[in-house]
Amino acid sequence: MKEKKKALHLPIGLFLFFITYTICLKMIDVQQIGPRHSEVGFATINQFFSSMIGTHSFWYQLTEILGIFPLLLMGYFVLRGFLQLCIRKKISLIDQEILGLGFLYAAIAGFYIFFEKVVINYRPILVEGQLEASYPSSHTFLAVSVLLSAFFLLSKEEGMLKKYLSYLCIIGMVALVIGRIVSGVHWITDIFGGIVLGLSLAQFYLVLFVRKLSIKKER
């Protein structure tokens, strides 16, 4: 129990940092530097990186395609959970790590909907002529939370195919984050926010479900 509480310090700390960081974005160096004079926090930093990086349609389109990978993995694990439910007849009999992914995906969906309604920053570009919510970067947030949690699970399961898939998760996560930065369709602070939120949720999953299971198996 003490070890578990200790392990929770990291995800809780990351999440509290995310909340504090989000509040700061609405209070510090807020300027109308976005499209249609939309306000952006940490404006000096954001404007510097935006001017330096610019926008690149190739990377934007590439990350749009790569963004399908986390969604496919989510579908794969949801299907695994559904098949286990059909066979075992009770939710309580579903593997805890798969059930844990269900809670994680519900949290991801909740945060996505929340930040679509509560807009912190709009993108530095118009999307089809309209302002679009930019914080946290949904591609980055999804890549980190889904692919990192999948890595935690798959790397502990048996089979070479799952091992290779776990490595692909890390490669995909890095490619998506870097590609999203280079594409220039988000402010740099929105990318960072997506990374922090994704890390906090993936760490919660690791501590509450994966680590717990590995300790049980060792016993």
pLDDT digits (tens, 9 = 90+) for 162-216: 889 999 999 999 999 999 999 999 999 999 999 999 999 999 999 988 865 444 4
Q: Counting beta carbons within 10 angstroms of the beta carbon of residue 116, is it exposed (0 to 12), middle (13 to 18) or buried (19 or more)?
A: exposed
**What pTM value is reported for the model?**
0.90
CA distance 207 to 149: 11
The answer to whether 45 and 188 are in contact (CB under 8 A) is yes
More confident residue, 48 or 1: 48
What is the residue-averaged pLDDT of the chain?
Answer: 90
Q: Counting beta carbons within 10 angstroms of the beta carbon of residue 207, is it exposed (0 to 12), middle (13 to 18) or buried (19 or more)?
A: buried
For residue 155, what pLDDT is reported? Answer: 87
**Nearest in space to 30 (alpha carbons), one of 132, 130, 135:** 135
One-letter identity of residue 152 = F
The 10s digit of each residue's pLDDT in 39-84 is: 999 999 999 999 999 999 999 999 999 999 999 999 999 999 999 9
Residue 161 has pLDDT above 90, yes or no: no
Question: What's the whole-number mean pLDDT along residues 123-135?
Answer: 89
The 10s digit of each residue's pLDDT in 22-48 is: 999 999 999 999 999 999 999 999 999
Residue 217 has pLDDT above 90, yes or no: no
For residue 192, what pLDDT is reported? Answer: 96
The tokens describing 152, both together, are 């935690």
Question: What's the whole-number mean pLDDT along residues 116-127?
Answer: 91
Stretch among 15-19, 93-97, 184-188 having the lowest mean pLDDT? 93-97
**H or E, element range at 133:** none
Question: What's the whole-number mean pLDDT along residues 8-27?
Answer: 95
Question: What's the whole-number mean pLDDT along residues 112-126?
Answer: 92
The answer to whether 41 and 135 are in contact (CB under 8 A) is no
Question: What's the whole-number mean pLDDT along residues 111-115?
Answer: 94
CA distance from start to end of the chain: 15
For residue 129, what pLDDT is reported? Answer: 84
Give the three-class secondary structure for 147.
helix
Question: What's the whole-number mean pLDDT along residues 124-134?
Answer: 88
